[in-house]
């Protein structure tokens, strides 16, 4: 065997080694992505299993309605307000993560989609009241605070805007 043949064999072996390294890296990335998705789903499930969040859903069902007044919202007990706060801030966080691509919409839909469809108008009303109260106290808009929740509400239940649906 001459030196040129040995060099060609060495190049071929190097190429095969590089190919196996790339294939192994792709497999590792796939495995990492599957594990990350599992962890995100587990975190989302843990949030949804929080007793305060459950209480917030109960309050959304029983005490909130589309024509909710600021007085009715203020009349909720401290425990009910805490539960609504936990629920809505959690849903806003889910929206921010989904909007920025850190949480897949299929996980959001599996865990939360039905709630967004059921309670969209009620949660919008609560946010409107919250913003009315805070604008009168701070003289600056606070709708950016709820950008994640608004984004999800618009995806699941677009509101009418002069006869045309709002797109997300």
Sketch the domain layout of the chain as residue ranges.
50-165
> Is 90 exceeded by the pLDDT of residue 37?
no
Backbone φ, ψ for residue 72 (5° rounding): -65, -40
8 A C-beta contact, residue 33 and residue 26: no
Q: pLDDT averaged over the chain?
A: 87
Q: Token digits for 78?
A: 């401290």
Question: Would the pTM count as exceeding 0.85?
Answer: no
Residue whose C-alpha is closest to residue 86's, from 107, 58, 62, 114: 58
User: CA-to-CA distance for 152 and 5, rounded, in angstroms?
Assistant: 63
Average pLDDT over residues 33-53: 90
pLDDT at 135 over 90: no
- pLDDT tens string 82-134: 999 999 999 999 999 999 998 999 999 999 999 999 999 999 999 989 888 77
Give, as one character, the DSSP assignment of residue 161: E
């Amino acid at each position: 065997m001459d030196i040129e043949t040995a060099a060609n064999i060495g190049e071929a072996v190097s190429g095969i080694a590089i190919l196996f390294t790339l294939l192994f890296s792709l497999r590792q990335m796939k495995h990492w992505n599957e594990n990350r998705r599992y962890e995100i789903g587990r975190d989302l499930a843990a949030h949804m299993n929080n007793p305060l969040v459950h209480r917030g859903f109960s309050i959304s069902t029983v005490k909130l309605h589309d024509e909710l007044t600021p007085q009715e919202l203020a009349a909720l007990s401290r425990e009910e307000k805490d539960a609504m706060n936990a629920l809505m801030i959690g849903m806003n966080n889910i929206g921010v993560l989904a909007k920025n691509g850190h949480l897949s919409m299929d996980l959001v839909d599996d865990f939360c989609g039905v709630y967004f469809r059921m309670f969209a108008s009620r949660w919008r009303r609560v946010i409107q009241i919250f913003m009315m109260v805070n604008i009168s106290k701070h003289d600056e808009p606070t709708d950016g605070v709820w950008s994640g929740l608004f984004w999800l509400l618009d995806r699941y239940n677009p509101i009418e805007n002069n006869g045309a649906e709002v797109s997300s």
